[in-house]
Amino acid sequence: DADVTQTPRNRITKTGKRIMLECSQTKGHDRMYWYRQDPGLGLQLIYYSFDVKDINKGEISDGYSVSRQAQAKFSLSLESAIPNQTALYFCATSDSKETQYFGPGTRLLVL
C-alpha cells in the first residue's frame, strides 16, 4: 500500500548490531502499529501507538524499542539484534477499531 511505506525493504545484519526500521504514512491516521510475522505464527504485535505521546507494549516487545517522531512516522529499533529476530516486519496504521492498513513489510535476516 503506497500510503504506508517502510524502509528498508530488506536488511541483513549481524548479531549484536543495532538497527532501525522506519515507517511513514500519508493516511493521516493517529494509530500506528509494529508487527512481526513468522511462518505458522501469524502476526504478533510488538508495539502500538495511539498518538504521538502514547506508546504501548504489545505481546512480544522484549528486545525492541520504538519512537513516534510525528503523527506520520513510527520507527522500530532492535538495540542488539539476535538471530531469532529474523522475521518479516510490518507497520500498520488505523483510524478505527475495525481496520488496519499495512505497509509492504521489511524482511530482516540476523546472522
Instruction: Provide the β-strand partners of residue 77.
Output: 20, 65
Cα dihedral 8, 79, 48, 29, rounded to 10, equals -40
- Interface residue list for other proteins (CB under 8 A): 1, 4, 31, 33, 35, 40-43, 45, 50, 56, 90, 92, 94, 96-105
CB closer to other proteins out of 14 and 41: 41
Contact partners, residue 77, CB within 8 Å, separation at least 6:
18, 19, 20, 21, 64, 65, 66, 67
CB closer to other proteins out of 9 and 18: 9
Least Å distance, CB 104 to other proteins, is 5
CB closer to other proteins out of 31 and 73: 31
